[in-house]
A and B are shown apart, each in its own frame.
Chain A
């Protein structure tokens, strides 16, 4: 059996609603997290993201200045100085399926519709810690693999072209980002 060592995880939560931030902070601290940074808008969150280099970002969607979707898009910049790979959990009151698709296409790792529950949040965190997906980079997308189904039962159109495989090695951007603070 596995459990998460929360006291080594660094969280950044971003929600313009102070009550929801308090709830999130309470849940994360109860799980055992010690480092929980908070912001109330996307712009501040981006600054804090660069400064604190959190392991996991939990963000609301609707926020002033720029919203959670834009925050995700700005984090998922493959050429950025920061870490573009951090898991992003979008916690939102939007509960329509099309919103999930939009969030997914912005590079969000997990989607959690409100109302929040301790179990739902824990499951999403466990998922990003234990089962990270590879990242895909195309002309129009950079983010976690949007194909969650790993079986060979997919019967839709094949949108990814194949070609000769080229393997490149480069230093871990996460470590590089960490070393700058």
Chain B
């Protein structure tokens, strides 16, 4: 094996593959410092995030309204590529963002809706009420969040929705093992 040279990429070729090692271009960004000089970038970032929290309610309202608008389009036009995509995208954004914004139950309800859109064999055959309940739940959780006693109710509501959605999906996918496996697989999302 040839000796590494600075600034060069080393390629080892094998029967079916090449292993390419390049000098780490980011190594110079790594500084060795005494423990006493270590600052706390994570703590600093958490504080900065907390500084944004005053805007979270407004952001969440915008996201929830986008979801309702997407649902209204589905009700008007039915499911087609465009309406399906927008409903999924709106729900998917809430699934990813809502917990950061302080609305974990809205994230859970949106995740349940995403699973319906992703795994229902025929979206036209999904009971309209099941989808509507998810939209209404997200709206209710977002609008009523300031009431302390609603947090527990929101958690129970989203769990019940998920239970009903999962029951529907499990039955609807009983002959589609690859979907069934995905439905029953545990989430890898970090906990609340």
How long is the Cα–Cα vector from A118 to B42 in the complex, in angstroms? 6
> Known: A98-B185, A135-B22. Contact between A30 and B29, CB under 8 A?
no
How long is the Cα–Cα vector from A4 to B29 in the complex, in angstroms? 6
A6, A114, A134, A161: the one within 8 Å of B41 (CB): A6
> Known: A1-B33, A113-B188. Contact between A93 and B95, CB under 8 A?
yes
B7 at the interface (CB under 8 A from A): yes
> Known: A97-B188, A117-B190, A119-B42. Contact between A4 and B24, CB under 8 A?
no
- Among the interface residues B5, B19, B52, B89, which one has the most CB atoms of the partner chain A within 10 A? B19
Query: CB distance A27 to B49 under 8 Å?
Result: yes
A148 at the interface (CB under 8 A from B): no
Give the Cβ gap from B119 to chain A, nearest Cβ, in Å.
10
**Segment at the interface with A among B8-16, B71-79, B143-151, B161-169:** B8-16
B92 at the interface (CB under 8 A from A): yes
How long is the Cα–Cα vector from A146 to B4 in the complex, in angstroms? 23
Interface set, chain A 100-128, CB cutoff 8 A to B: 100, 113-122, 128
> Known: A114-B100, A116-B100. Contact between A96 and B32, CB under 8 A?
no
The size class of the interface chain B forms with chain A is 35 or more
How long is the Cα–Cα vector from A169 to B88 in the complex, in angstroms? 47
- Among residues of B, the one whose C-beta sits closest to the C-beta of A28 is B45
B23: A residues at CB distance < 8 A: 172
B28, B34, B99: the one within 8 Å of A1 (CB): B34
The size class of the interface chain A forms with chain B is 35 or more
Query: CB distance A161 to B31 under 8 Å?
Result: no
Query: CB distance A26 to B10 under 8 Å?
Result: no
B27: A residues at CB distance < 8 A: 129
**Segment at the interface with B among A15-23, A34-42, A43-51, A149-157:** A15-23
> Known: A26-B48, A118-B46, A172-B7. Contact between A17 and B26, CB under 8 A?
no
A80 at the interface (CB under 8 A from B): no
How long is the Cα–Cα vector from A160 to B19 in the complex, in angstroms? 11
Query: CB distance A113 to B26 under 8 Å?
Result: no
B96 at the interface (CB under 8 A from A): yes
Give the Cβ gap from A133 to chain B, nearest Cβ, in Å.
9
- Among residues of A, the one whose C-beta sits closest to the C-beta of B187 is A95
Contact with A along B165-187 (1 / 0, CB 8 A): 00000000000000000100111
> Known: A30-B44, A115-B107, A137-B20. Contact between A92 and B26, CB under 8 A?
no
A96: B residues at CB distance < 8 A: 182, 185, 187-188
